[in-house]
Amino acid sequence: MRRFLAALVPVLVPALTSCGSPAQEAGPAPSKPAAPASPTSAPPSVPPSPTRTPTTETEDCFDGDCLLEVTRPVDIELDRKKFYYPGFSVVSVDENSLTYHVEYPHGGGAEQVLSPGGGSSFGFRDNPSVEVRLVSIKDGKALLSISPGTSP
Domain boundaries, the chain: 58-148
**Which pLDDT score is estimated for 52?**
84
Q: Check whether 150 has a pLDDT greater than 80.
A: no
Which of 92, 98, 90, 94 has its CA nearest to residue 119?
Answer: 98
Q: Strands, E, within 3-115: which ranges?
A: 66-70, 74-77, 87-93, 98-103, 109-114
Model confidence pLDDT, tens digit, residues 6-23: 444 444 444 444 444 444
Q: What percent of the chain has pLDDT over 70?
A: 65
Model confidence pLDDT, tens digit, residues 28-66: 544 444 444 434 333 333 333 456 899 999 999 999 999
In this prediction the pTM is 0.66
20: alpha, beta or left? (left if phi > 0; alpha if psi -120 to 50): left
**Which pLDDT score is estimated for 128?**
96
